[in-house]
Amino acid sequence: MTLTKTAMMKDTALVVVDMLYDFIDGSLACQGADEAVARTLEYIKAHPGLPRIFIMDHHPANHSSFAAQGGPWPPHCVQGTRGGEIHESLAPYADDEGLIFYKGEDPAVEQYSGFEGRNEAGQSMAEVLRLMEISRVIVCGIATEYCVRNTSEDLLKDGFKVTVLKDCLAWVDPEGHRQALLEMEKEGIRLS
Ligand code: VGL
Ligand code: ZN
């Protein structure tokens, strides 16, 4: 019997982390972002039955992550601004509000991990993945060393099988990117 691609992938979801304008061409533009977005779009088109989860950094204007409040970063992904929106080429695929998880909304708390995000209904990603009977996630996004790494590690610790698409990543620092990938692989995250 021949299984269709969709049937084979029934236990799998794609997790797209922070492919948002401020990380692509904005205040925190990351290296490799244009290519990462283009390849993510190709991947989505090549796997039409694959459920898609989107993570969004979603800060209030006074977030503690920003330099004016003593944090390490310039203002980015402020709620209601273009910088916080999903790239227009991918936005049509973020068509299920239940599968969009927002993080970084509490001004006092830094959240690099999509695992700590919540959807519109207040559910966590792990909760929704389990309801969908998903046991394996394929992760791509921005930035490798921060949100991609933290999201992938938290999913792995929670028992999901995790594969990172290494051609669908962008980074703050090239050496940080390489180091993060090495360490993630040692921890048991697959690179593909
Ligand atoms: C991120 C820095 C600050 C990320 C988010 O998505 O990797 N990095 N906020
Ligand atoms: Zn942020």
Q: Return the residue whose CA atom lies nearest to atom 6 of ligand 1.
A: 147
Task: State CA 41 to chain mean position distance.
Answer: 14
Ligand 1 environment, Cβ below 6 A: 18, 57, 65, 73, 112, 142-143, 146-147
Distance 104 CA to ligand 2 centre (A): 6
- On whether the CB atoms of residues 71 and 24 are closer than 8 A, the answer is no
Token code pair at residue 99 = 């599968």
Number of Cα atoms under 13 Å in the Cβ half of residue 87: 23
Q: Does the pLDDT of residue 1 top 80, yes or no?
A: no
Q: What is the DSSP letter of 28?
A: T
Which ligand number lies closest to the CA of residue 73? 1
Confidence at residue 5, expressed as pLDDT on a 0 to 100 scale: 54
**At which residue do the structure tokens 């916080």 appear?**
84
What pTM value is reported for the model?
A: 0.96
pLDDT tens for 71-80 read: 999 999 999 9
Number of Cα atoms under 13 Å in the Cβ half of residue 62: 2
pLDDT tens for 151-183 read: 999 999 999 999 999 999 999 999 999 999 999
pLDDT tens for 102-154 read: 999 999 999 999 999 999 999 999 999 999 999 999 999 999 999 999 999 99
Q: What is the mean pLDDT of the chain?
A: 96
Is the preceding peptide bond at 143 cis, omega within 30 degrees of 0?
yes
- On whether the CB atoms of residues 113 and 143 are closer than 8 A, the answer is no
Mutate to test the pocket of ligand 1, among 56, 87, 146 (most ligand atoms within 8 A of CB): 146
Token code pair at residue 4 = 């269709």
Q: Does the pLDDT of residue 67 top 70, yes or no?
A: yes
- On whether the CB atoms of residues 31 and 174 are closer than 8 A, the answer is yes
Confidence at residue 45, expressed as pLDDT on a 0 to 100 scale: 97
> Can you list the domains of the chain with their CATH numbers?
5-191 (3.40.50.850)
Mutate to test the pocket of ligand 1, among 15, 20, 21, 28 (most ligand atoms within 8 A of CB): 28
Query: Sheet containing 161-170: which strands, arranged edge to edge?
Result: 100-103, 52-57, 12-17, 136-142, 161-170, 190-191
Model confidence at 9, pLDDT cuts 50, 70, 90, reads: confident
What residues sit around ligand 2, an ion, with C-beta below 5 angstroms? 57, 65, 104
Confidence at residue 32, expressed as pLDDT on a 0 to 100 scale: 98
Q: In 3D, which of 75, 86, 146 has the Cα closest to residue 113? A: 146
Q: What percent of the chain has pLDDT over 70?
A: 96
- Mean pLDDT along residues 92-98: 97
Confidence at residue 109, expressed as pLDDT on a 0 to 100 scale: 96
**CA–CA dist 110, 29 (Å, integer):** 19
Token code pair at residue 133 = 């009977």
Distance 24 CA to ligand 1 centre (A): 12
Distance 72 CA to ligand 2 centre (A): 10
**CA–CA dist 170, 35 (Å, integer):** 8
